[in-house]
Structure 1
Amino acid sequence: MQSWHLFFGATRRPPAILWLVGIAVAVITLIPAIYTIIRALEAVGTTTLPPPKMLIALVINTVILASGTAFLSGIIGISQAFLVERTTLAGRAIWRIVVALPLAIPPYVLGLCVLALFRPRGIIEKWLFTTFALPYGTLPFSGIFGVLGSMVVLALCISPYVYLPVAAVLRQGSNHFNEMAQLSGATWYHRLRHITLPTIAPAAGGGMLLCMLYALADFGVPALLRLPTFSTAIYGQFTGQINRAGAAFLSIPLIFVTLGLIILEERLAGRGSVQINRSWRPYLRHPLQAWQWVAQCGLGMVTLSALVLPIGTLVFWALRPMSLSEQSSSLPWSALLQTGLGNMFFVALIASITTILAIPPALLLRRGGIIGGILARCSQVGYALPGVVVALSVVLVVNRGLSWIAGGVLPLVLAYIIRFLPQAVQSLDVAFNQIAPAIEEAGRSLGRSALSVIQRLVLPLAAPGLQAGWALLFLSMIKELPATLLLRPAGFDTLAVRIWMPASDGHFAAAAPPALLLVAVALAPLTLILHTYHRTPTQHTEEAPWNPS
């Protein structure tokens, strides 16, 4: 009996319907990854493999991009969190929202704005030439291309993945241990090193690993800024040379590296904890005094680069007259609004389906014993597959055994579900894990079945988490680019596609209206996400003189 409970869950044993749906979801998500690996192994020993020099260059570029983006995001996010939550920063309530808004800016949108402004003979260099007669080539505008420019663009857009969890830990943390250390004679440096930094390390490490995963999977920014990475190489093998075996082979290193990062991120996520009990004490905010303007300038520079620059550039493009070539690749506002509404409805529907499919794995993760945990982990394999790899794997499977759905919208739907199901499972797992087991046991003691307890108790109590998880899915799906480019049927457009197609041809003004519309659409789910993050069970941190001794 004990072994049965160990493998299949004990007092909160899930109903049979959850097991059936959980197994089906795990199989659906596993098949594309397994088939991609099989196709990659078939390519070994053939002439379709990329040359070794290309592989070495891809490894170096991808590793530097991912690690550099994570490092820059960590510096930006941790600094912002400390300034907002632990100092007497003026306008703290406003900054708390503003520093998270870059999540609404797709990195490829910021990338195309940077490309248009700072490329050689771009808007800035032409203005310098016409205004100050500064010769072309005087300033190193070519530096925006390659790994450095890609790192900066990605870090500016995804640093909130570090800021949000670190800010939550700092906001909910107790000053109890800090006071005890101060009474023991510890200096501010020792308290920072031995108390504050270990407290935020799991949250910061998890956020930085998420940024690294994002950089590994990103396609738009490296493609715009001419940085060859595994994602751009896979896309090129698939669309340029139509070499699917070679594309599958290039996917293998990306899959295994991402799997290792996911395992590391899960271990870090389980190490952080914030204790809120009778010994909880509010933290004393450090007075900035003369450093107030430095903090405001630092936050303002990041906001200027991540928000004002792209939005201002897009507004400028949208208002100025287009050339004939730009008009040929643009849509009238009526057609653009129709595309945007269709995109919103499509994404909302897929986000709802994905959220429903994520409920059984999320419940099995904590309630299904070892078998349930394995099924839940299998359903999260899509996290190790970047969008371009998911699209490739879906194409390979559809062409081999599901040719009757090829050319339609179902392959794209399947790719979205596989790609973002792990994100939904993680969000729902957090929501379900906050429900005390005693509540479910009380429902079972009243004669209710396990399924009835889930319907009447668990899901209503987890409703806020379900809503936040759905909003996060919507925000991620509405910005998805590579899978949509590879799998969209003829005549099917999304806002991301309407941005990418003219931008890839250099028609930046034609890409501005759909980019502005996409940013506006992304703000709605982001508002719900920020509302969830900023709700805390603690009191507000007090302001008091800071004793650095």
Structure 2
Amino acid sequence: MNSRLMPLLTVALLVVLVALPLLFILLQALFPHLAQGSLAGAFSPIPALLRDPQLPALLSGTLKIGLTVALLSALVGIPLGTLRGLFDLPLARLWDLVMLIPFLTPPYIAALSWMLALQHNGYLYQLIGFDLNDLLFSHNGIALVMTLNIFPVVYFAVSRSLLASGQHLAIVARVHGASALRAFWHVTLPMMLPALAAGVLLSFTLAIEEYGVPAALGSRAGVVMLTVGIEERLADWPIDLPGSSLLSMLLVLVALAAYTLQRKLVGNKEVTSITGKPALNKGAQLGHWRWPALVLFSLVAFVVVIMPMSSMLLSALLSTLSGGIRLENMTLRHFSALFAQHGDALDALSTSLGLAFAAALITGVIGFLAAWLVVVRKIRGAVFIDGLSLLPAVLPGVVVGVGLILLWNQPFWPVTPYNSWPILLLSYCCLLLPWPVRYVGSALKQLGGNLEPAARVHGASQFQALRYIVLPLVFPSLLAAMLMVFAIGSRELVTSLLLAPAGMQTVSVFIWRQFEQGSVGQGMAMATIAITTGLVLMLSALALMQRGERS
């Protein structure tokens, strides 16, 4: 492949996947009659939005939920991550797996599971005689449900940063007379601050872009968020494209403001090991704190995994919810019904798996090329490629969905993917592109800059060096990222709800509609199958990552 063709192709793909949808959101927000091919009434949607009585509630609800979830995620994730990173924690790999399960579980499934467990006459009431209905359907309840799904990003950011940097400098500080607290505050904490800030930022952005939890619990709690407001303007007649576009841009601005604040606070600092690989860090002995630490992790595992997963599985096994938790009310018919209802469930499953597999391949290729051009080639315009490839990390799914609708529903396109399965594929690729870029970029930074030039000196073309030298060395990280994309794409909800054409369902849409129709058992049965599949794939990704680290 020509050395100039790869950068041009990569940039073109990034423009189509990321830049154009965002551009059309901005244009629609500024020009309300853009869909009719007119630029009349420019900027008129802005005063209309500012006069909207719902706007203060939407914005304040989003910010309150985002900040609360970020704070709670830090309060839970920092102590757990510090214990995992600094100490020789028993069953450490098991706790890592436990912390992955909430991240893998679709938030709307977790919300529905908690609702079935804690509402009036729910499973908790049936077992012990009281419920937490008032807490669940409140601002704090919604924030807690989100936190239980999101805090693992802070846990992994903190623990991996501490495992990578080790305790060598903190030990030196102790040798020179510093107390354990002083060494942690002045040495360990500053070293992990960039990773901690990134984890807290990610928890904030994940919270403000969440649609499923506020949609499931918000109406009864009186909590509204921008994501729900955007979806309502697209779903309710008359469709308000300018209003949904402006709210989408407002949501992007909130996410970018959080990102800018994080960069201002921690700058461009990074903590890396001398070798480029995590330092060997067995961790300090816990001593008499060993059992309290195990009890703490066990309690967290019970709350964030066992309780919601038990509620989900129990709902899938109960013949009727009104029949209560009784042995005679247990059945497997909801699982068998998935494969006996005119193929709808099988079609949804095969559609999700096919789209997720295609998204993994496409994002893998684009992410590999983008990371290589930025990290290794350092071509002119690398900043533009890097920015476009990582921008979807701060783009909520609902914003991507709105952008794709506006982009591809224009009359001037001779051929358009709108209202067909490729539009879903485009949305998955846009949302999940940062995964391969980040994984491959980190792997490329560990390779050094001499392998590819050495191959070129010995007669290999640039494409041959890329294919036979660079790709095999980063392939474990690339494959792990693609498995992550597959696992997350197979259960994506919000863009699937917005963009799925008539007669087409994905797993997430199937589950959502089963709940809307009152078929809770079948919805939870499908959720059980989807989460089990995703967990197997995540374990595969972890195994590949660990093998890549050892090689």
Q: TM-score range by the shorter chain?
A: 0.7 to 0.9
Decide whether the 8 Å contact of 1:100 with 1:164 is kept in 2: no
Cα drift, residue 264 of structure 1: 5.6
Percentage of identical aligned residues: 25
| Residue in 2 that maps onto 1:61 | 61
Q: For structure 1, which segment, 410-419 or 113-122, has the greater mean C-alpha deviation from structure 2 after superposition? A: 113-122
TM-score, reference length from structure 1: 0.86
* Distance change in 2, residues 1:38/1:464 (3 Å): same
AA in 1 matched with 2:480: A
Cα drift, residue 114 of structure 1: 0.9
AA in 1 matched with 2:112: L
* Distance change in 2, residues 1:269/1:57 (3 Å): same
Equivalent in 232, 241, 251 of residue 244 of structure 1: 241
| Residue in 1 that maps onto 2:38 | none
Query: Within 1, Cα distance between the matches of 2:87 and 2:447?
Result: 33
Q: How does 1:204-353 map to 2 (within 5 A)?
A: 204-226=196-218, 227-241=223-237, 242-263=239-260, 270-276=268-274, 282=281, 284-289=283-288, 291-322=289-320, 331-333=337-339, 335=343, 336-337=345-346, 339-353=348-362
**Runs of 4+ in structure 1 over 6 Å off:** 327-330, 535-538
Decide whether the 8 Å contact of 1:217 with 1:386 is kept in 2: yes
Q: For structure 1, which segment, 63-72 or 95-104, has the greater mean C-alpha deviation from structure 2 after superposition? A: 95-104
1:166 has 2:158 as partner: yes
Equivalent in 148, 167, 172 of residue 156 of structure 1: 148
SS at match of 2:371: helix
Decide whether the 8 Å contact of 2:102 with 2:148 is kept in 1: yes
* Distance change in 2, residues 1:284/1:348 (3 Å): closer
Decide whether the 8 Å contact of 2:338 with 2:526 is kept in 1: no
Query: Within 1, Cα distance between the matches of 2:478 and 2:49?
Result: 44
Q: How does 1:399-438 map to 2 (within 5 A)?
A: 399-400=409-410, 401-402=412-413, 404-438=416-450
Q: How does 1:373-452 map to 2 (within 5 A)?
A: 373-400=383-410, 401-402=412-413, 404-452=416-464
Q: Deviations 1:92-136 (Å, cap 9, x if unpaired)? A: 3422332333222111111001112222443434666xxx5x7xx
Name structure 2 gaps, 5 residues minimum: 33-42, 323-332
SS at match of 1:480: coil
1:34 has 2:33 as partner: no
Query: Within 1, Cα distance between the matches of 2:90 and 2:434?
Result: 38
- Number of residue-to-residue matches in the alignment: 514
Decide whether the 8 Å contact of 2:135 with 2:141 is kept in 1: yes
Cα drift, residue 515 of structure 1: 0.7
Q: For structure 1, which segment, 498-507 or 388-397, has the greater mean C-alpha deviation from structure 2 after superposition? A: 498-507
Cα drift, residue 498 of structure 1: 1.7
Cα drift, residue 281 of structure 1: 8.1
Q: For structure 1, which segment, 300-309 or 457-466, has the greater mean C-alpha deviation from structure 2 after superposition? A: 300-309
Cα drift, residue 305 of structure 1: 1.8
Decide whether the 8 Å contact of 1:146 with 1:222 is kept in 2: no
AA in 2 matched with 1:159: F
Decide whether the 8 Å contact of 1:73 with 1:155 is kept in 2: yes
Equivalent in 354, 366, 379 of residue 363 of structure 2: 354
| Residue in 2 that maps onto 1:8 | none
Query: Within 1, Cα distance between the matches of 2:507 and 2:175?
Result: 58
Cα drift, residue 459 of structure 1: 0.9
Q: Deviations 1:241-296 (Å, cap 9, x if unpaired)? A: 32111111111111122233445667859522133479x7856514241x444322
Q: For structure 1, which segment, 45-54 or 76-85, has the greater mean C-alpha deviation from structure 2 after superposition? A: 45-54
Decide whether the 8 Å contact of 2:85 with 2:158 is kept in 1: no
Q: Deviations 1:166-199 (Å, cap 9, x if unpaired)? A: 2222223333322321222111111010111112
Q: Deviations 1:198-241 (Å, cap 9, x if unpaired)? A: 12211111112111111121100111111311111100110013
Query: Within 2, Cα distance between the matches of 1:269 and 1:351?
Result: 32
Query: Within 2, Cα distance between the matches of 1:415 and 1:495?
Result: 16
Decide whether the 8 Å contact of 1:175 with 1:281 is kept in 2: no
Decide whether the 8 Å contact of 2:227 with 2:398 is kept in 1: yes
Query: Within 2, Cα distance between the matches of 1:284 and 1:417?
Result: 39
Cα drift, residue 338 of structure 1: 5.2
* Distance change in 2, residues 1:302/1:313 (3 Å): same
Cα drift, residue 362 of structure 1: 1.7
Cα drift, residue 510 of structure 1: 2.7
| Residue in 2 that maps onto 1:112 | 112
Cα drift, residue 385 of structure 1: 2.3
Query: Within 2, Cα distance between the matches of 1:211 and 1:529?
Result: 22
| Residue in 1 that maps onto 2:500 | 488
Query: Within 1, Cα distance between the matches of 2:181 and 2:544?
Result: 33
Decide whether the 8 Å contact of 1:156 with 1:302 is kept in 2: no
AA in 1 matched with 2:23: I
SS at match of 1:437: coil
Q: Deviations 1:475-510 (Å, cap 9, x if unpaired)? A: 221221010011112222221112211224554323
SS at match of 2:515: helix
* Distance change in 2, residues 1:202/1:459 (3 Å): same
SS at match of 2:447: coil
Q: For structure 1, which segment, 30-39 or 489-498, has the greater mean C-alpha deviation from structure 2 after superposition? A: 489-498
Q: How does 1:36-185 map to 2 (within 5 A)?
A: 36-43=25-32, 44-46=43-45, 49=49, 51-125=51-125, 141-185=133-177
AA in 2 matched with 1:332: L
Query: Within 2, Cα distance between the matches of 1:235 and 1:329?
Result: 31
AA in 1 matched with 2:540: L
Decide whether the 8 Å contact of 2:113 with 2:308 is kept in 1: yes
